[in-house]
């Protein structure tokens, strides 16, 4: 049951109660308005778009968006809410709604996300063991409290915990009353259509917070064009005058004159150019102010390649901004995360090491892997009540390799934003088990090797999950760069995306190119050739390569290796005969 004073929402029984004179009085709501209210209460403090609401409540049915207005009128009447000065449901014109009241569980545990927080697969819901990073941000806030403005970039790959860290930092500041917070979320696809989107969201929150009257007055005096674009302004839906960066900058400095103001802009790699111009201006202004701008973004994101990269580089060189890079969790920190996630201090033997290795220290990936183990029945909860504990039903070495479905969807979204040519290059790279050389990509795609290396270099510069790992010298003195995926999850998803016949064709091309490159020295690469022939289902050629590799191992007196290769060849032959 959720509580937002003076109401209690009982989801199990689809009832809404109002506390009045020490008694709970039921409020009758039809099923659909109740479902809308429940979704808003389950997602407090963030923008819920019209499309998100419609998709969540009518997933298989087309519904006119106007129906939401009817339900909102009904909900506001039931809650006694005012659309112009909302206590519960804030309307963000042409975008959606935000539940702005604090929400607690029935036991009184605070559940409200800091205003502006977007809960998504981008970050895990729990915060663990970022003590040093949190301390760094708190030290920066002390400088801000002394009147020194700060622009901080918080950098990390998807799922590394940027939002979780920001939540913890802002939550501490608000709880202690040392700062006010306004948050704006950059959204993919919106930056090219709507200037200043995250800033307008943050300003709307400032105006809607308790004491927001001061923010509205300051904006009305110093940046009236900006106030006109917020839901709190009279006639907000009407055409508003142009906005100036100078006016907004002066207004924010005024609002941060006495108490620190933390302005959070999340996922800056999706920001519009106008928002980046505001950041640049705020960083360069010299007036003393207690303003902290905290921006999160993914490194080497395709969307951030040009304007954001230039802005960040310029501000860091001129010492007008700082940057914190979130590293993957250590094994010890991973054990702490799992203990908190499973509510169990002593973990099953080997679980933390297994999850750390598979996730490579990424908190989001780690949680997804644990959920995958539970869904598979590998990790089970035994016992009752207080004696219940998580145990491994079988050894982790028996766990089937695979990518949790939630991670597959997240990676697919990233890949789908790339061009078809970029996707082809990455798919070709995924055919190699560890690092992929440019010549192998060229062989798989039957294209020029120099062109292939240029494409791989471009991807390594733009994407956070691909990096240049070095350079190999091939027979004949030719050199070829090689690359690596930042996480095995990306390689596995890209490998599975390819149709089996196309994938087999590409494996054969790589094996044949290996034979050409090492002509006269084929014995050095027969094992690798066999791997590609086997993956392609070219059993006869795989057996031939394995036997050559076994002979080569025998000549090197590697008898155990030779025996293993011969046995593998025999198994393939038996499988082919059985087929």
- In this predicted structure, the answer to whether residue 266 has a pLDDT above a threshold of 70 is yes
Selected residue with higher pLDDT from 120 and 224: 224
Residue ranges covered by each domain of the chain = 2-105, 131-233+244-325, 331-400, 406-578
23 φ/ψ angles, rounded to the nearest 5 degrees: -130, 150
Summarised one tens digit per residue, pLDDT across range 72-126 is 888 888 888 888 778 889 888 777 888 888 888 755 443 333 333 333 333 334 4
Which pLDDT score, from 0 to 100, does residue 29 have? 79
- Residue 419's CB is within 10 A of a number of other CB atoms, namely 9
Q: H or E stretch including 381?
A: strand 379-382
Q: What is the mean pLDDT of residues 441-447?
A: 95
Beta carbons of 1 and 8 less than 8 angstroms apart: yes
pLDDT in tens, 19-71: 765 556 778 777 788 889 998 998 888 888 887 888 787 765 555 666 787 78
Q: What is the DSSP string of 75-91?
A: HHHHHT--SSS-SSEEE
CATH architecture of the region 406-578 = Orthogonal Bundle (1.10)
Q: Is the overall model pTM greater than 0.85, yes or no? A: no
- Provide the pLDDT for residue 401: 59
**Tens digit of each residue's pLDDT (9 = 90 or more) over 327-367:** 888 888 899 889 988 888 899 988 999 999 888 888 888 88
**Per the structure block, which two tokens stand in for 145?**
């409290």
Question: How large a percentage of the chain has pLDDT more than 90?
Answer: 34
* pLDDT for the residue numbered 396: 77
Angle between helices 307-317 and 273-284 (to 10 degrees): 10
- Residue entry with tokens 């929400």: 103
Residue 421: its pLDDT value, please? 94
The one-character DSSP state at 183 is: E
CATH, domain range 2-105: 1.10.10.10
* pLDDT 10s digits, 378-400: 888 887 755 678 988 887 776 66
Which tokens go with 537?
């289902």
pLDDT of residue 469: 86
Contact 75, 37 (CB under 8 A): yes
**CATH 3.30.565.10 corresponds to the domain 131-233+244-325:** no
Give phi and psi for 435, each to the nearest 5.
-95, 150
**Do 143 and 150 touch, CB atoms closer than 8 A?**
yes
pLDDT of residue 317: 94
Question: Which of 133, 165, 40 minimizes the C-alpha distance to 90?
Answer: 40
The answer to whether the 131-233+244-325 and 406-578 domains have the same CATH topology is no
Q: What pLDDT, in 10s, does the model give residues 134-171?
A: 999 999 999 999 999 999 999 988 888 898 899 889 88
């Amino acid at each position: 049951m959720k509580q937002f004073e003076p109401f209690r929402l009982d989801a199990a029984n689809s009832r809404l109660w109002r506390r009045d004179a020490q008694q709970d009085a039921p409020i009758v709501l039809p099923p659909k308005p109740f479902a809308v209210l429940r979704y808003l209460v389950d997602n407090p403090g963030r923008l819920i778009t019209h499309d998100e609401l419609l998709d969540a409540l009518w997933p298989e049915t087309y519904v006119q968006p106007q129906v939401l207005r009817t339900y909102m009128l009904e909900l506001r009447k039931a809650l006694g809410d005012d659309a112009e000065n909302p206590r519960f449901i804030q309307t963000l014109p042409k975008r959606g709604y935000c539940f702005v009241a604090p929400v607690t569980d029935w036991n009184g545990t605070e559940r409200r996300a800091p205003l502006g927080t977007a809960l998504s697969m981008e970050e895990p819901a729990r915060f663990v063991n970022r003590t040093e990073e949190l301390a760094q941000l708190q030290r920066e806030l002390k400088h801000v409290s002394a009147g020194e403005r700060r622009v901080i970039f918080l950098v990390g790959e998807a799922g590394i915990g940027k939002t979780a860290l920001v939540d913890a930092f802002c939550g501490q500041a608000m709880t202690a009353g040392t700062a006010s917070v306004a948050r704006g979320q950059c959204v993919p696809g919106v930056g090219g259509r709507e200037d200043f989107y995250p800033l307008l969201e943050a300003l709307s929150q400032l105006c809607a917070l308790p004491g927001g009257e001061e923010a509205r007055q300051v904006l009305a005096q110093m940046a009236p064009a900006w106030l006109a674009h917020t839901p709190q302004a009279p006639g907000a839906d009407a055409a508003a005058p142009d906005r100036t960066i100078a006016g907004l900058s002066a207004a924010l400095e005024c609002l941060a004159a006495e108490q620190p103001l933390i302005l959070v802009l999340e996922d800056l790699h999706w920001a519009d150019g106008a928002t980046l111009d505001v950041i640049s201006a705020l960083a360069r202004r010299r007036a003393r102010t207690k303003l902290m701008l905290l921006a999160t973004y993914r490194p080497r994101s395709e969307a951030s390649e040009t304007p954001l990269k230039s802005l960040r580089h310029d501000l860091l060189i001129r010492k007008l901004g700082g940057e914190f890079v979130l590293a993957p969790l250590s094994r010890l920190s991973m054990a702490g995360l799992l203990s908190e996630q499973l509510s169990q201090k002593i973990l099953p033997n080997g679980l933390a090491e297994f999850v750390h290795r598979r996730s490579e220290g990424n908190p989001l990936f780690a949680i997804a892997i644990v959920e995958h183990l539970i869904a598979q029945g590998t990790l089970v909860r035994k016992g009752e009540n207080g004696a219940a504990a998580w145990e491994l039903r079988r050894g982790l070495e028996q766990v089937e390799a695979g990518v949790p479905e939630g991670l597959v969807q997240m990676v697919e979204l990233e890949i789908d934003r790339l061009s078809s040519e970029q996707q082809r290059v990455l798919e070709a790279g995924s055919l190699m088990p560890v690092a992929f050389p440019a010549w192998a990509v060229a062989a798989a795609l039957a294209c020029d090797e120099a062109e292939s290396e240029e494409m791989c270099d471009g991807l390594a510069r733009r994407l956070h999950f691909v990096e240049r790992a070095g350079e190999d010298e091939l027979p004949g003195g030719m050199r070829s760069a090689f690359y690596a995926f930042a996480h095995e999850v990306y390689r596995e998803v890209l490998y599975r995306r390819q149709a089996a016949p196309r994938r087999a064709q590409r494996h054969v091309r790589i094996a044949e190119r290996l034979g050409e490159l090492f002509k006269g020295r084929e014995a050095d690469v027969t094992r690798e050739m066999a791997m590609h022939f086997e993956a392609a289902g070219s059993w006869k050629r795989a057996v031939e390569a394995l036997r050559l590799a076994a002979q080569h191992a025998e000549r090197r007196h590697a008898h155990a290796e030779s025996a293993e290769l011969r046995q593998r060849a025999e198994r393939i032959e038996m499988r082919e005969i059985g087929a």
